[in-house]
Amino acid sequence: MSQLSRRTKLAAAPAHEDIRPFEGLERLQPHAAGADIGAHEIMVCVPGPENTQIVRAFGTYTADLEALAAWLKSYAVETIAMESTGVYWIPLFELLEQHGFQCCLINPATTKRVPGRKSDVADCQWLQTLHSYGLLTDSFRPEADLIALRTLLRHRARLIQHRSPHILHMQKALLQMNLQLSQVLSDVTGETGLKIIRAIVAGERDPHTLATLRNSRCHKAEDEIALALTGTWRAEHLFVLQQSLALFDFYTQQITACDAEIERTYSTIRPDWGTPAAELPDAPHKPHSHSKNQPKEVQVRQHLYRMTGVDLLALPGLSASGAQTLVAEVGTELTAFPDAKHFCSWLGLAPHNDISGGKVLRSYRLKNHNRAGQVLIQAAAALIRSDSVFGACYRRLKSRLGPSQALIATAHKLARVVYKMLKDKVPYEHTTAQAEDERFREREIAYLRRKATKLGLTLTEPEVSLVS
């Protein structure tokens, strides 16, 4: 039967209508409010009598926020939804939480799919309507006592980013004077490099005298370093070098002060598990993991072990800085994520499939700037050549998926392990790449046996004869 005749037959057949009862949407949160937050004005909508809405504008001063909280209490509001507009929502969110309101931070992308709302009044009304019917998903925030730690760690990362351009400025000034310091030293801001640069800024010009400042562990000899430090001592480039060094030292001092404040914040965070530092397991051996931007690993391990009950630094590829960033971003309990799939999806490490008609049209990773996900991607990149289960996983997937997708898949595997450790408080057990390859081989053999049985065949392994 052709497609046209099939359509004609269906059109001629009598229609069978199935009438079913429909009660409509149920208002799950009758005492819900919505707020559209701007830089100078906050529009708030609360439910009114007889299916009406009451909208009122407030300022952004602290006195205005206090008046807003009192106004919400007068209408018996219990929960309020607000869009995450920049950082303008933070003062209102924290103040309303102090007054006992349940605050829900909403991603604006989830509420702007219906066109036509072009005013702040309509936006707050729409937020209140969706929130009252339970159609909004709250954004994840870690425990309240970890917010301060997260703020300081993000500030520390920005300080390191702001310091890095001044290192490039020092290198550029040296190269313009034909001082090839970067060719004889792997890091110009290391111990030898900073000693030489400070001596140059202090007025020393003799290359042999500068070469004597090399550390004994430096691979290059003094004669070669002296040859690299023979150049043109231009006054303008020396001035740039002096100011760049001063800015580098300033940011280094600020990072040190930030580390001290982070240490003080750790001491104020409640001990979730009360695990004494004496029970901390031995530190795992991680070669080639030294970095001058890393915090003190011993102190970070003690604090994180006390807060989480597990040693996250035992996980391969995860540094002290990455571990504390991970805990500050995701928390210590992970109760907001029902399972590991939700956790990996929030991290931006799960594939997004476009499915139509039961067929996967394309599979890709959604754009996500999740800091915790980036930490796990960096940890996976450090395990590409390692003798671990994650290194074996990457090398196995690289030939099939390519390097970029294999890296994301390895980070996804790391995320599932982190979820298991934090959720169930299970310590990490190291597995070698050889053991993982053996397990993969056993899984492949079991799959081939099932497939052969399904096709009515028998899978037999050849006998290996030993030749003497």
- Give the tens place of pLDDT for each residue, 340-362: 999 999 999 988 888 887 788 88
For residue 233, pLDDT over 80 is answered with yes
Cβ contact 33:45 at 8 Å: yes
Handedness of CA 236, 237, 242, 244 (dihedral sign): positive
Contacts of 315 (CB under 8 A, 6+ apart): 323, 379, 414, 417, 418, 421, 428
Q: What are phi and psi of 278, to 5 degrees?
A: -65, -25
Q: How is 94-129 classified by DSSP, letter by letter?
A: HHHHHTT-EEEEE-GGGT-SSTT--SHHHHHHHHHH
**Choice among 1-5, 22-26, 209-213 with the minimum mean pLDDT:** 1-5
- Give the tens place of pLDDT for each residue, 251-309: 999 999 999 999 999 988 876 655 555 567 766 766 666 677 888 777 888 889 988 88
How does residue 177 score in pLDDT terms, banded at 50, 70 and 90? very high
Locate 329 and state its tokens.
């971003």
Cα distance between residue 113 and residue 110, in whole Å: 7
Strands 352-356 and 102-106: unpaired
For residue 237, pLDDT over 90 is answered with yes
Kindly provide the b/e burial profile for residues 342-357, where b requires at least 16 CB atoms within 10 angstroms of the residue's own CB: ebbbbbbbbbeeeeee
Q: What are phi and psi of 444, to 5 degrees?
A: -65, -40
Q: Where are the beta strands (DSSP E) in 50-178?
A: 52-58, 79-83, 102-106
- Give the tens place of pLDDT for each residue, 311-325: 899 899 998 899 999
The whole-number average pLDDT for the span 212-217 is 89
The whole-number average pLDDT for the span 196-208 is 94
Helix (H) or strand (E) holding 320: helix 320-330
**Choice among 105-109, 177-181, 200-204, 374-378 with the minimum mean pLDDT:** 105-109
In which residue are the tokens 């979820």 written? 419
Cα distance between residue 333 and residue 330, in whole Å: 8
